[in-house]
Structure 1
Amino acid sequence: MATPYEKRRQRKLFLTIVLPAFAGAVALSLVAISQTQVYAYAPSTLPSPQELGDRDVRLAGLVAEDSLRTGADTNVTFTITDGKAGVPVSFDGILPALVAENEGIIAQGKMGPDGIFRADNVLARHDENYEAPEVIKALEEAAEQGPAY
């Protein structure tokens, strides 16, 4: 049977070593989660470049008609729209084969100070019956807000 002195010593050990280590692990986990979170926005709900800062976000919507342009090398520009607003996008890379005008798309990247979204990654729907949940949600949110006047 443990003496009162040994119980006190075990309690002190717990409070000085185990509890701070646990609190540190929780804090590190929360920081890691907050740094890896990527929010999805529709073009009409996208915050300003100043509000976004240097944070990675996803932009979900449809590729606007007559906006898909290929430039030098692998540079591609297009506009993502939700029917209310459009955001110009610049992407340097090879687009997925299913990226086309009036088709659902998700671009992940950063908003430039010039108002052009610079995508690091572009995702497209993968068959005729599938629509990405982010695209559906973004389009529904834009429809709920009503027309922009």
Structure 2
Amino acid sequence: ESYVIYLNESNILKHSGIGPGGAGPEHLLHHYGHWNPNPGPPWYIIFDFHQRFTVQRVELSNFGDGTHDVSQFTLETADNIENNDAYQLVTSATGVKKEVHSPQVFTFTPVTGRYWRLNVTKTHSEFQPWIELLIFRG
């Protein structure tokens, strides 16, 4: 049985920025808004779980308008981020559906790490992603 890894603002170590009139990545950790990053890529968030956790699934909720919906992302992990090359690819999702607001589930072989990097590599348009919710499950 899986468990939710509860995160808050203190778990956000670094991100690719906030667009004009946008909202920070802390908004994707609850149901009260969405992350609206800079208009151009890269689009990423680095989370520090403060200890090692085993993750086997993420749930991602798009805004659901089609224009700002994620279509592809990667998830990486590391135990030490002094060297950017330390990240290990966990999963690469290419089939994220557009105009779907409910959580889309992405399951993978369980991986343990302290730092987790979400990279949005593509949206269903040229516009920045609007992610409403991101849940990590162990």
Settle same-fold status: TM greater than 0.5.
Answer: no
TM-score, with normalisation over the residues of structure 1? Answer: 0.26
> Could you say which structure has the higher helix fraction?
1
> Could you say which structure has the higher strand fraction?
2
Work out which structure has the larger RCO, using CA pairs closer than 8 Å and 6 or more positions apart in sequence: 2
> Computing the radius of gyration over CA atoms, which structure comes out larger, 1 or 2?
1
TM-score, with normalisation over the residues of structure 2? Answer: 0.27
